[in-house]
Structure 1
Amino acid sequence: MKVGFRGAAAAMLSVLAITLSACGGGVTAEGDGRKVVLTTFTVLADMARNVAGDHLRVESITKVGAEIHGYEPTPGDIKKAAKADLILDNGLNLEAWFAQFVADLDVPHAVVSEGVAPMDIAEDAYQGKPNPHAWMSPVNAQIYVDNMVRAFSELDPDHAEDYRANGAAYKTQLGAVGDDLVAAVSTLPADQRALVTCEGAFSYLARDAGLTEKYIWPVNAEQQATPQQIGSAIDFVRQRGVPAVFCESTVSDAPMQRVVEATGARFGGVLYVDSLSEADGPVPTYLELIRHDATTIATALAGASQ
């Protein structure tokens, strides 16, 4: 997997980081007086905005549609980070580039997955390492919220009570969307409760919903899927009679289309994991992401075999 900085680019970014961090943090965005919270990707940004309310300005380093795993920070990202008051990252080895990104910045950061019980990746070179996609469980997402409430209260004690109230209200919504996820899948016959995706990003969601998970590759990487990985997915679909398969919005579905061609399974649709959509798209918020994925999975698995 391609990660981090290389050669001259790394030196340039490091020098820029040192220069900017010397200027100090606490630079507010657009002069509106609010402190700035920077997240590593759009899903975290949306969650953080629900907790922050109007008191903090929350921005994402990566843009909508970005592939988070192998992201390479730009000088502009370093400049933005140096002006932030707090940086939030997922942890669990999701942002392989993050350590170098913040190494020379005098900006506090919080790991929002702290306290989550990670599920291990079961296959290939990543076997035994934590699956980083913990936010795909609405139950885990409530732990994320607690960590955000704590970090925001330390950053801005004057509004700590508001952060606690916002967090509690948002956790209620997360609980409801989690219940809806389980309900959507519970209508499926037991032999149709199998989730086949391109990336192994749905372990936590599958666990919550009672789905058996199968994927082509465990973690998004630059190389194409191997024949062995595609063959394994084909065998699973054939053996289980899986009626529909899926792929994520940030990667090509070409490998999964080969599974479709070989098995006769239906391509059930695009799922969202690492990125939200634009505001007018199907998943502008984290809550909508979970709803979209649950509906897409349940509808395709129920309808494809009818």
Structure 2
Amino acid sequence: MLKSFRAALAMSVITLSAFATSSAIAAPLKVVASFTVIADFAKNVGGDRVEITTIVGTDGDAHVYEPSPADAVAMAKADVVLVNGLHFEGFLQRLVDASATKAAIVTLTKGVTPIDFKPEFADADAAEGAGTGGGKTVTDPHAFQSIANAKIYVKNIADAFCTADNEGCDSYKANAAAYTTKLDALEGEVKAAIRSIPEAKRVVITSHDAFGYFEHEYGLTFLAPQGISTDSEPSAADVAKLVEQIKQDKAAAIFIENITNPRLIEQIAGETGIKVGGTLYSDALSSSDGPASTYIDMMHNNITQIKGAILGS
């Protein structure tokens, strides 16, 4: 009896040891995403092979974010760090330096064709570190607002994960392909929604200029009191200029953004007589119980809000 018990115990130890070794081999890839949109892309590509930490959380503003010690710890432990680039994350270099991370820093806008920011606010935003001033052009960093660009982000993530975890490469590529198919369908829905809006009514007001790539790709015109960064308040002259432009262009709808203070938009709505049409999600996803907890949900929410406010449906 005692021999049988010892034999069983020995087998248990061997089994547990084997399981521990197996678990160690299958440890998930530690991934840090700079903000929620990238984190969502990474989840769709990585599946259960990745463990993701997000620096700027839901409804957070990456333009003004101040990193915490916990962020530096996460960066230090990471295998891969996924960032937008194009000066979107003003905090990034400080965080990389503070963490002394050895992780690969992967810029997901590699391969994206950047667009320039609208010139009327270019010099002000250049001073915020979004580009160069003195009459030179400023690059718009919000490339993820184009679904075509989102597909480039996804490919870059799959490539980065394959480099860091070659054994999982087939899985990453399959996940990326399946998710890209969903993005293709989403793009078709967005384009169909825009086609349903009369061209004369395709002018929308938002808090800051986060939708340049959406405008460039899909044919809506976005006007905003703040430039591409939310770092500074627009001047009274800027707001007055925008109000005049809104009246001339006959803007059809005005929206609050989830990452910004609604006060300025409410002021402009009052001065122009345009009713606030709802909330658009720009630089961050919503919490899990909100209407934009994934990138696909975000794009659905935004186009539904825009179409509904303009057409009254």
2:47 pairs with 48, 53, 62, which one?
A: 53
Single out whichever of 252-261 and 149-158 deviates more from structure 2: 252-261
Task: Please say if residues 243 and 266 of structure 1, whose CA atoms lie closer than 8 Å, have aligned partners that are also in contact.
Answer: no
Single out whichever of 191-200 and 229-238 deviates more from structure 2: 229-238
CA distance in 1, matches of 2:220, 2:252: 14
**CA displacement at 1:74 relative to structure 2:** 1.1
CA distance in 2, matches of 1:239, 1:192: 12
- Name the counterpart of 2:294: 285
**CA displacement at 1:106 relative to structure 2:** 1.7
- Describe the SS at the equivalent of 1:61: strand
2:96 is equivalent to residue 99 of structure 1: no
The one-letter code of the counterpart of 2:271 is A
**CA displacement at 1:42 relative to structure 2:** 0.9
- Name the counterpart of 1:227: 236
Aligned residues: 275
2:235 is equivalent to residue 247 of structure 1: no
**CA displacement at 1:150 relative to structure 2:** 0.4
- Describe the SS at the equivalent of 1:109: strand
- Name the counterpart of 1:138: 147
- Name the counterpart of 1:189: 198
Single out whichever of 221-230 and 258-267 deviates more from structure 2: 221-230
Task: Please say if residues 182 and 208 of structure 1, whose CA atoms lie closer than 8 Å, have aligned partners that are also in contact.
Answer: no
Single out whichever of 100-109 and 171-180 deviates more from structure 2: 100-109
Identity %: 32
1:113 pairs with 109, 112, 116, which one?
A: 109
Task: Please say if residues 81 and 105 of structure 2, whose CA atoms lie closer than 8 Å, have aligned partners that are also in contact.
Answer: yes
- Name the counterpart of 2:10: none
2:309 pairs with 291, 297, 300, which one?
A: 300
**CA displacement at 1:213 relative to structure 2:** 2.2
> Please, what TM-score do these two structures have when normalized by structure 2?
0.84
Determine which structure has more spread, i.e. the larger CA radius of gyration.
2
- Mark the runs of 5 or more structure 1 residues left unpaired by the alignment: 1-29
Task: Please say if residues 43 and 52 of structure 2, whose CA atoms lie closer than 8 Å, have aligned partners that are also in contact.
Answer: yes
CA distance in 1, matches of 2:55, 2:62: 10
- Mark the runs of 5 or more structure 2 residues left unpaired by the alignment: 1-23, 126-135
- Name the counterpart of 1:205: 214
The one-character-per-residue Cα deviations of 1:217-242 (angstroms, maximum 9, x if unpaired) are 11233433211221122112211222
Task: Please say if residues 203 and 250 of structure 2, whose CA atoms lie closer than 8 Å, have aligned partners that are also in contact.
Answer: no
Task: Please say if residues 64 and 230 of structure 2, whose CA atoms lie closer than 8 Å, have aligned partners that are also in contact.
Answer: yes
- Name the counterpart of 1:218: 227
Higher helix proportion: 2
CA distance in 1, matches of 2:289, 2:167: 35
- Name the counterpart of 1:7: none
> Please, what TM-score do these two structures have when normalized by structure 1?
0.86
The one-character-per-residue Cα deviations of 1:122-157 (angstroms, maximum 9, x if unpaired) are 232236121110001110000001100100000100
